[in-house]
Amino acid sequence: MPEKTILMQGNEACSEGAIAAGCRFFAGYPITPSTEIAESMSEKLPRVGGKFIQMEDEIASISAIIGASVGGLKSMTATSGPGFSLMQEGIGYACMAEIPIVITNVMRGGPSTGLPTKTAQGDIMQARWGTHGDHFLIVLAPESVKETFYLTIKSFNLSEKYRVPVLVMMDECVGHMTEKVIIPPAEDIDLIPRRYTAKKPGEYLPYEYGADLIPEMVHAGNGYFFHITGLTHDERGYPDMSWQTQEKCVHRLVDKIRTKTEEIVILEEEDIKDAEVIVVSYGITSRVALRAIQIAQENGIKNIGRLRLLTVWPFPDKRIAELAKKIKAFVVPEMNYGQMVYEVERCAAGKCKTILVPHGGGTVHNPENIYKAIQEACQ
């Protein structure tokens, strides 16, 4: 197919990216403001030989995509707010069983039912710590419709490479805005295939791993005997309740992501070299922050840097710590009352100020409020 330019909504770009990445199974339950992803997938997946199922709820949805992935299909679901809360046990299961899946959460105001049709960024910490126990997963946050397309493809590649759930955290603004997206020919899209074992049945252990800490896979029905459980397990996948196995199993689940942070994290930096103040942001707030920086420059405040998190988790600890030694302050605007700011503050470790610009959601920040925080940071 030749390159094509389409005017589309962020939610539609998510579904286009998923299909371009090879997703062939979607299970979901309609929930505002993510419903258009399910609607789009219901139309498009059958055209490429994929399957769409509307489930009875979000617990069933996450369970279905886990099963489809074990069966060999790249799989995803989409949700928001309360639905994301319901999926946490399934996400934890996929972390423990190392099953690659993709979940898009189009964030809305909360808590509880909150603001179903309005924007927010209140789920960022839930994305990291929502499921119980020690685990590491990968979370991406697009700021535009175009970026949603490409980061959705990226999410599937990361999920397959590291055998881990990957979350795409869009805010409602991105999900519902309409922008131009250039979709490249299929042959120009780099995809990471699932790494299947070359071992024969009888030689294969489901959770045997090498230097990269990531086991090879097979899919159900291919003649291999394997056991999958959410319990602590040995290399056969058999439950083992000893502390020694817990240490070996869970430590590896954490390390296979944590030790790869430098290669996973994607940042966008601008005017960082001589900056005295750096604005740290993610998602739609990054676009508002850019206007605030422009206002600061128009009013004679120079040396303002910009650091945008495309990868929210794992967090770029080393980079933030490195920059903290060179600047006066970080300014962190978020559509919540303080979540990611505490990670920035932790990594800054008192080397510079960290200033939160909170906003409860429903609408985006007024850039003047971010500008005022920049003024404060410069004092």
Would you list the domain boundaries of the chain?
A: 4-188, 268-378
Supply the mean pLDDT for the chain: 96
State the fold for domain 4-188.
Answer: Rossmann fold (3.40.50)
Are 4-188 and 268-378 in the same CATH fold? yes
**What was the pLDDT predicted at 126?**
97
Question: Which numeric CATH code is attached to 268-378?
Answer: 3.40.50.920
pLDDT in tens, 275-317: 999 999 999 999 999 999 999 999 999 999 999 999 999 999 9
**297-304 contacts at long range (C-beta below 8 A, 24 or more positions apart):** 299/371, 301/374, 301/375, 301/378, 303/271, 303/274, 303/275, 303/276, 303/277, 304/271, 304/275, 304/276, 304/277, 304/278, 304/279, 304/374
- Contacts of residue 84, defined as CB under 8 A and 6 or more positions apart, other chains included, come to 58, 103, 105, 123, 126, 130
pLDDT in tens, 337-349: 999 999 999 999 9
Model confidence, pTM: 0.96
**CA–CA dist 204, 216 (Å, integer):** 9
